[in-house]
Structure 1
């Protein structure tokens, strides 16, 4: 068991500890936050929903510039500062008692969370070699799920007590968890800076200085250390990622595939209650099944994703599995006894988590591998907007398709997943062709995206020790 959820010692393990710290706090917070905002802060449910929607809309826009900031100033310090900003935003909920301050605080929370996710991805990219990143992310995902499960159990105790004091303890714990996360991130070594495109890597060491006279960083022209923009001789555009059309398409397709996220929290619970004969406790059982499966098998699933062809195959397969998943869930609405409907729901949930693990592993690899090395933070900030977008648009889409349309809606949704999965191959090949040679993998003999050869051997991370790390470094989210 430990080898499936713990990374090896060194930066991967510290990243996992930071992930675990804030995920425990967020697990408790996510369970209690809605009732706290309504019963203690005094905000109506409609206004809570409005505030969260606006907050995550702003947060999704903030990911790119904050990721760009991590590229310029360094991901370690940026991550630590944004973790502290998240802690401060959560702590402010302890004293807020009206809507306008609540709205400001939740916008600050969502903005800091989105920026923290992008900065931590850039930090991971700087500390973990590219062949090992997907494996490390898989361990981090397992850590995330374990922390959320423990936090949710603690939050359940607060809900059981139902007092104002219990809610305040949960909020204080979440704020403290992000403060601990900030300390752990700051203790990591500062990753070496990546020179911007147009300047040979040999011209700049990790301090950003050059031995060529007359250029920035030379002894005669000192510049601030580690500034890739200055090393290239010109400022980097904040929204350069938006000019990279192939990467934008890859990120958009990934966002479509991420519509599976609100399925477990919204679509399936509504389906069970409104359309099936299964007992309502199946909602909780399916959530536990999903969490446990990711903890146990995400690392193993990610080991098969070692290069771009393998990532494309994983994403394509996830689309096919999601089509089968949607078909099985649709069948659960037939005139069946409760046990048969429950069995179909379990089968659909198993297919859902299999597709989730394949899509996550493939998506992580594509998001990193297709991004320029000196703009990882900015590109990951953009790639990460798929999560808040899916959580914002998903509820309306899923309630329309599943609750209103029923079985045809499930089949249409499955077809959407299938189309996005199969479209990822051409989009990734387009993005690979557009990448400059300086940003390509150092492995000259890596397979082309069109090859059908078997996947490469397991990631070095998975083989390095009994434990490997993986972490999507995804910050927890309100609502």
Structure 2
């Protein structure tokens, strides 16, 4: 938990203040900063695939330590950035490192935690991350009050990530996995049944950018709600996830349970889209705000359910021979949202209004209907007869 808290506070400091830091301290335009952040997300595709395979070979704990140390060094270099090419080079490398930590962290949990407790552990860690991120955001808010202390944003993040790297070394070593059972390179992306589950999960994970991008833009451009409704909704969403994520993980510790939960999350997501569409026909500010808050809470229910279901399916489908690679490939269902979700979803709802919300809901319901049979088809022949998540040993460190 200490590792996750140190990492989340550090990431909260930087992610909450990075746009202000790059525009005021480095002198970049908002468009340049946005393009750099998008490029960093694209680097995550490669990182999740390649570093998952590396983790399987050298050990999750060892690779996680290396990545945290490299990240800490990278954050200390941000104050030296004074040109656009250097900014792009550094932020892409940092995006690669950051997204690469996911498969190693997930595989490490798979090694150290019993199968029946893995999803709950991921839920606890996500709760801790949200708490730490909120603390980091508060620190960043203080830092941006004065331009003279802007460099404290990346430097404080570097210190906290270094602490996380140190704490990783206190964890037990990974259990060794014989060389003979190692998988072929890129075996996860060659597993088309597994990839189909990842693709369907990407659709069910659209709540990520609906809450962060599409819904706020909808509030600002297509409703009569005051602008301060946006930060209010984001605070409510964070508080909801912190409060209910662990409770929502119950029942997602098996492949069948996780896939059924994914299906339910899709129904909730479609319902939330329908509620948001109602604001098209409301003109009273109080009524509009009430509908928006209701939609936000239903989106939040979707979020905690879909997150838990994704962890359960990822662990349930990851084979012994390449756990981190499969877990990293499953992470693409969220990374893809970071790359294409903001523009696609916001474009649909802003351009087409209620019909746009209806289109999203229809696509989500199709994915929800397909996710259970897809997960069962992707189940590996060596999965245990009882529907429990298989053990996920990782290469020795």
TM-score by length of structure 2 reads 0.95
Query: Structure 2 CA distance, aligned partners of 1:367 and 1:102?
Result: 34
* Matching residue within 144, 151, 166 for 1:183: 166
Deviations 1:84-136 (Å, cap 9, x if unpaired)? 11111221111111111111110111110111111111111110111110011
Q: Say if 2:224 is the partner of 1:277.
A: yes
- Aligned counterpart in structure 2 of residue 158 of structure 1, from 140, 143, 148: 143
> Counterpart in 2 of 1:205?
none
Counterpart in the other structure of 1:381: 328
Is the CA contact (8 Å cut-off) linking 2:225 and 2:288 kept in structure 1?
A: yes
User: 2:53 matched to 1:32?
Assistant: no
Measure how far apart 1:45 and its partner are.
Answer: 2.2
Aligned to 2:387: 446
Q: CA deviation at 1:300?
A: 0.8
TM superposition shift of 1:328: 0.6
**Total equivalences in the alignment:** 389
Instruction: Tell me if 1:51 matches 2:42.
Output: no
1:144 aligns with 2:129: yes
Following superposition of structure 1 onto structure 2, how do residues 280-299 of structure 1 map, counting pairs within 5 Å? 280-299=227-246
Q: Secondary structure at the match of 1:89?
A: helix
- Which of the residues 336, 345, 352 maps onto 1:398? 345
Q: Is the 8 A contact 2:258 2:313 kept in 1?
A: yes
Please identify the structure whose Cα radius of gyration is greater. 1
| 1:276–1:334 contact (8 Å) kept in structure 2 | no
* Native 8 Å contact 1:290 1:350 kept in 2: yes
The alpha carbon displacement at 1:59 in A equals 2.2
Aligned partners of 1:404 and 1:175: how far apart in 2? 41
Distance 1:138 1:322 in 2: 20
Q: Which residue number in structure 1 is paired with residue 153 of structure 2?
A: 170
How far off its partner does 1:329 sit?
A: 0.7
Q: Which secondary structure state, in structure 2, belongs to the residue aligned with residue 332 of structure 1?
A: helix
Distance 1:405 1:193 in 2: 54
- Separation of aligned partners in 2, 1:353 and 1:54: 28
Bigger share in helix: 2
Q: Is contact 1:64–1:380 with CA below 8 Å preserved after alignment? A: no
In the other structure, the counterpart of 1:262 is 209
3-state SS of the aligned residue for 2:205? helix
Q: Determine whether 1:252 maps to 2:199.
A: yes
Q: Tell me, yes or no, if the aligned pair for 2:115 and 2:253 is still in contact at 8 Å.
A: no
**2:337 is equivalent to residue 354 of structure 1:** no
Cα 1:268/1:245, change in 2 over 3 Å: same
Q: Is 1:246–1:431's contact at 8 Å kept on the other side of the alignment? A: yes
| Aligned-CA RMSD value | 1.5
Alignment of 1:401-420 (within 5 A): 401-420=348-367
Structure 1 residues 117-132: aligned runs within 5 Å: 117-132=102-117
Query: Structure 2: any 5+ residue segments left out of the alignment?
Result: 390-397
Question: Which residue pairs with 1:364 in the alignment?
Answer: 311
Partner of 1:62: 47
SS of the residue aligned with 1:279? coil
SS at structure 2 position matched to 1:93: helix
1:321 maps to 2:268: yes
- Kept in 2, the 8 Å contact 1:277–1:333? The answer is no
- Quick check: 345-354 or 53-62, which moved more? 53-62
Higher mean displacement: 40-49 or 306-315? 40-49
Structure 1: give runs of 5+ residues left out of the alignment. Answer: 1-15, 195-227, 448-458, 460-479
**Correspondence list, 1:416-435, <5 A:** 416-432=363-379, 435=380
TM-score (norm 1): 0.79
Partners in 1 of 2:283 and 2:100 — Cα distance?
Answer: 47
Identify the residue that residue 395 of structure 2 maps to in structure 1. Answer: none
